[in-house]
Each structure stands twice: as structure tokens, then as C-alpha cells.
Amino acid sequence: MSIPSEMACKELVELVTEYLEETLLPTDRQRFEEHLKDCPHCVIYLDQIRQTIRTLGRLTEEDLSENAKQDLLRIFRDWKKEPPTGPTVTCDPK
Ligand SMILES: [Zn+2]
């Protein structure tokens, strides 16, 4: 039953900029989209990245620093422990 190529949230976070820039390999893109079907957290994450891009006009690797990625992965773990109460990943507060 297990799919060896199943994408983890961590990998999705790593690939999100390439996905949005459409520079992802077709195989990775397919795995990315497959993951989104099963993982509402990553859908929310992707949506927030899109909003960030709309706000900033662009997104670079520097905007997604290693620390930010680690924070997100911690949030994903918390989401799995508790029922989701809505997105807790915020962009720059207004
Ligand atoms: Zn995920």
C-alpha cells in the first residue's frame, strides 16, 4: 500500500517556490499535487505562499529561510496532534 515516492511535507516545503515558478520537474510536480490532495495543511501553506507572492510581487529563497521552514514543519507537527483551528502561519503582521 505504501507509495515509495510519496512526498513528505518537508519536501513539499522545499519545493514550493519551484512549484509556483513552474520550474518543477513534471514527476515532482505530480507528486507535489498528489500530496496536496491528502494534506490540507500543505494546501493552506501553499495558499499563504501565494498570498505572500501577491503581496511582495515575488518570492525568493531568502524569503523562505531555513528558520521559516523549520517553523512551518513544527506547525505541521502540531496540526497533526491537535484538530486544526485554522491557519497559524502568518505572513508579516499588519
Ligand atoms: Zn503536507
pLDDT > 70? residue 74: yes
pLDDT score for 55:
83
- As given in the structure block, the three cell numbers for residue 43 are 494546501
pLDDT > 50? residue 2: no
- As given in the structure block, the three cell numbers for residue 87 are 491557519
CA of 41 to the centre of ligand 1 (A): 6
Distance CA 14, CA 61 (A): 10
CA of 56 to the centre of ligand 1 (A): 24
Around Cβ 4, how many Cβ atoms within 10 Å? 4
Which DSSP category does 41 fall into? H
Burial label for 38, CB within 10 Å (0-12, 13-18, 19+), is: exposed
pLDDT tens sequence across 28-70: 999 999 999 999 999 999 998 888 888 877 666 566 666 677 7
CA of 37 to the centre of ligand 1 (A): 9
CA of 66 to the centre of ligand 1 (A): 17
At residue 63, φ and ψ (nearest 5 deg) are -70, -25
- pLDDT level of residue 79 (50, 70, 90 thresholds): low
pTM score: 0.59
Amino acid found at 53: I
